[in-house]
Structure 1
Amino acid sequence: MKKKLASVSLLLLSIAASAQNMATTSTKTTVDQPDYNKWSIELNGGVNKPMRALTPGYSTATLNPFHADLGVRYMFSPKFGVKLDVGYDQFTERDDTPAFESRYVRASVQGVVNVGRALNFETWTNTIGVLAHGGFGVSQISTETGYGGQDYMGHGILGLTGQIRLSNRIALTGDLTGIVNGRQNWNFDGMGTTQPRGFDGVLLNASVGLTFYLGKNEKHADWYSEENERLNKLEDRVTTIETGLIDTDKDGVADLYDLEPNTVSGVAVNTKGQSIDNNQNGVPDELESYLENTYIKKGSETATNGTVEQLINGGYVNVYFDFNSSKPTNASLSGVDFLVKYLKNNPGKTADIIGYADEIGGSTYNTELSRKRAEAVKKVAQNAGIDASRLNVIANGEDTSVNKNSKEARQIVRRVTFQVK
């Protein structure tokens, strides 16, 4: 037994030394802000079995209730840590044996080795882990039968804990722990003395419980793989670069550098992907020039005979919006410019600016959203030189004329349209 205890002691001292070395290394490499949480609280309950020493004729059940322990653990790194825990065991007789009742209380300081991380469990599972723990502490046996009173001793403790990760904050655990008492004067039943007074008291605990992880980071050290995290970050960076090199709006500037990733197709842009708008009226200069040449200079006769007004009032000129947005899409700003050009060439005309929303969401909310959309278009027209007194905002709320389950159809009704008078 002494040789066995010496071996256990040597193992525990090795764990403590390795934990200290790893703590120093971790401090140097992670600086002051690791990417994982270090603290946890452990709560367990289960059964016990005193193996030695019991007075002849006295015995407990094979799985004797009751055992409980509470621990606080701190991990220096994903592989090594320490914990302080307290345990309580109660011993009573089994059927057809003399009656007795005694209690065992202990406090232990233990080193912890994350076997799962040491053996690279992360290469095949993210939910199963194993912890080995061992250390030393003080304990007490108390009883009101037999000798009565308390017996104080030291102990060594060694155990293995299986883990199932339920979430980043909680893990389900199952633990098997052995305790060897030194200088135990009483038997666990409190009815006799151990012979000799050496390392004769042996107790086994089996329990299940929960571990609660504390801290602001996403993962605890129990489940943090430095290599996996390094590869994940590298993969994210590559994905960002690959995605950023796509040119969604086909303006010749990659999305990674494009400050205006939804530029109107075909208009000139600067080196940052922004459409050129020298007069700052919200309409790209190239598109503005096209509309002016097409509908104003060349279309004066058309404007005279009312064809342009018919186009506007017939719902062919619209401004569109993204879902739950009151900001016009860049591609549809040409509709505002169409109205602005018409009103400037017809100073006696006014216009109703009519906002709509799709049927997703509450009716009251959608009515307010349609008003905000109309107000946004009015502001663009005012900035383009149209007096506010010529612009009347109307909130028409939900447009129920399309199938609300169709994504494409809903896009059509998220709009502002016009009526000129």
Structure 2
Amino acid sequence: MKKNLLLLSFSLLTFATVSAQDNSKKDDKKDASDAVIEHNTYNKWTVEAVAGQSKGTKPYSTGYYSSNPDKVLGSFNFNSFGLGVRYMFSPKFGLKLDGVYEKFENNEKTDSKPFETQQLRFGIQGVINAARLFNIEEQIGRLGLLIHGGFSYARFTPKLDSGIDPDLNQVGESGGVSNVDRTENNLGVMFGVSPEFRVTKRISIIGDFTTVANFRQHFAWDGHYSKQDNNLAGQLVSGSIGLTYSFGSEDLHGDWAIIEDKRLDEIDELDKRIGDLESMMNDADKDGVPDYLDVENNSIAGVAVDTKGRMVDINKNGIPDELESFLQTNYATKETVTQAAASANEEMIKRLINEGYVTTYFDTNKTKPTNVSTEGIDFMLTYLRNNPSASIDIIGNADEIGKTEYNNNLANKRAESVKAILVKAGINPNRLNVVSKGEDTSVDKDSDGARKLVRRVTFKVK
């Protein structure tokens, strides 16, 4: 049995090492420090192979002990070899089954009487991924920590040809002893911690520290059998190191895969919706109509608009009714309002144009006016037809996004585009002068709403 377990342990360790080398070559193509990859699922199965040292702490017969009582630290030798398999029901909790071969014998550097015993121990334990339990897996990167505990079953066998004194008559304070050619079955409880370090996506180095307390035990660890009816209080400690291999459909070891919390996704989605609502409720031209309903988001401040944000112009003469009323009240004669706007109020109209109230807007990186802003061009067409001696500057602007040279050229193209429209409408091109002002730096370039206001063409009457 011992030789078979040793051979199986060596085979599994060799396989894990070769796999680690192969995976390391693949990982070298990527960033070696990439310790965490996000996954919605994780590998649930893990196998492990370990080797280490086990010591029975008590009981021992008089004259027998496994370490030198005169030294704090004793010598270390591998006397235990184990194989295990673990299944994680969830990212935090799982179940582990393992088997360990252990050999106990006297230390040759001590004065202990010679003895040799062996034990085959099996365990079934619950496992807690402590890193996940405390939500620190991202902070500790490749490190990990497992806590495990459960029940053990062991078959303990003394070797009677190991030099045991047949005349020994005491096991601690338990009474008389005798050598018995038999194997004892023991049940106990066990608890341990296992620190981990991930080497590749599927392979990790694991250490383990475990203590076992048996419910009932009649053999001392040196192999002598108690004649009394009372049970001995058997205790065992074990330390080991080895390799684990995680297998499944995912690339990353199940102990390190980050599981996305669906509740966080829902919170992010709600945050996005709230952000969208806030953007929709913006009112760039301050006319009381949110941008998502405003089809004319460049209306003049203080001018009445309809439910879609359009400046009210009932008679369709190109002059908003608010301005038309102002002109009528302050400058009208007995003639019609249109005549007043064309004669007595010519300076007022010219001022409104030169101050930028008549504007045409453009989408990002576009030279064609937006559908809702062609009314500015229509207004200028009416003005030029009513004032055949007037000429104008067509002034192109752009926002600050992009290179300055490109934006200067874009502003010029926007002005040329408006000029072409007016020329096709019958205006003499000699009356139209294209001017590029390039980037307009008067607004916050990080604000989408503000940038809309400077992607425009304005006019200036000469």
Q: TM-score, normalised by structure 1?
A: 0.46
Q: TM-score, normalised by structure 2?
A: 0.43
Larger radius of gyration: 2
